Amino acid sequence: MNDTEPCKRLREVRARIAAAAAAAGRDAAGVRLLAVSKTFAPPALAALAACGQRDFGENYLQEALAKIAALRPSHPDLRWHFIGPLQSNKTRDVAAHFDWVHSVERLSVAQRLSRQREGRAPLQVCVQVNVSGEASKSGVEPAQLDALAHAVAQLPNLRLRGLMAIPAPATTLAAQRAPLARLREQFERLRSAGLELDTLSMGMSADLEAAVLEGATLVRVGSALFGARAKPV
């Protein structure tokens, strides 16, 4: 057992996931852990990689590109997930350097990603959904989700894996679960309509238990793994 501080934090987060999965009657192996490393420097990521962590999530493109360049030579097996706001001027670099994108919310952006991914393994994508109404400006509105999801699923160099949401913060378990349940309903509906989705990307440090109870297959955890971030983001 590796007893560095990062490995201890990783074990604690995995234990939280395992306890929530047990409470939900789920197999914890069905919940992938994405380490959200925004604002942390490459040595912090390398320390977590040394404990066995493979999936890392980044929000800010320039910061992410520098970290990927620094870590890829020594850690070619890491998987990089882009989870931040995605405008069209960022798609070329995202298509070139990332394995996953969780924050697709416009068809024009998805089309650019697909064109720019030409000739490589498909980019794995999630559509981000606004499940918190007025409280959030990010994500496609539920009323527009079907059209967007079906169009993204047709793009040749993307593989639509599922849905992602960042609900407005809430303090009680019930209040945390409500928007996550809405995302899960949309996910199940799209699956019933024939889309082969397997990824429900929801849950962060403060609400990962609620997310696992509502069926998350991937939780995005930052501060519980790396400590508090210096700047609020």
Ligand X SMILES: *Cc1c(COP(=O)(O)O)cnc(C)c1O
Residues in touch with ligand X (CB under 6 A): 36, 38, 59, 83, 166, 204-206, 220-224
Separation CA 147–CA 40 (nearest Å): 37
Separation CA 71–CA 86 (nearest Å): 23
Looking at beta carbons only, is 54 or 150 nearer to ligand X? 54
Looking at beta carbons only, is 170 or 221 nearer to ligand X? 221
**Nearest distance, CB of residue 31 and ligand X, angstroms:** 15
Looking at beta carbons only, is 83 or 190 nearer to ligand X? 83
**Nearest distance, CB of residue 34 and ligand X, angstroms:** 8
**Nearest distance, CB of residue 33 and ligand X, angstroms:** 11
Looking at beta carbons only, is 37 or 186 nearer to ligand X? 37
**Nearest distance, CB of residue 206 and ligand X, angstroms:** 6
SS (H, E, C) the chain: CCCCHHHHHHHHHHHHHHHHHHHHCCCHHHCEEEEECCCCCHHHHHHHHCCCCCEEEECCHHHHHHHHHHHCCCCCCCEEEECCCCCHHHHHHHHHHCCEEEEECCHHHHHHHHHHCCCCCCEEEEEEECCCHHHCCCCECHHHHHHHHHHHHCCCCEEEEEEECCCCCCCCHHHHHHHHHHHHHHHHHHHHCCCCCCEEECCCCCCHHHHHHCCCCEEEECHHHHCCCCCCC
**Nearest distance, CB of residue 232 and ligand X, angstroms:** 10
Looking at beta carbons only, is 84 or 215 nearer to ligand X? 84
Looking at beta carbons only, is 171 or 192 nearer to ligand X? 171
**Nearest distance, CB of residue 82 and ligand X, angstroms:** 10
Looking at beta carbons only, is 18 or 206 nearer to ligand X? 206
**Nearest distance, CB of residue 105 and ligand X, angstroms:** 12
Sign of CA dihedral 50, 51, 54, 55: negative
Residue 223's Cα: distance from chain center in Å? 15
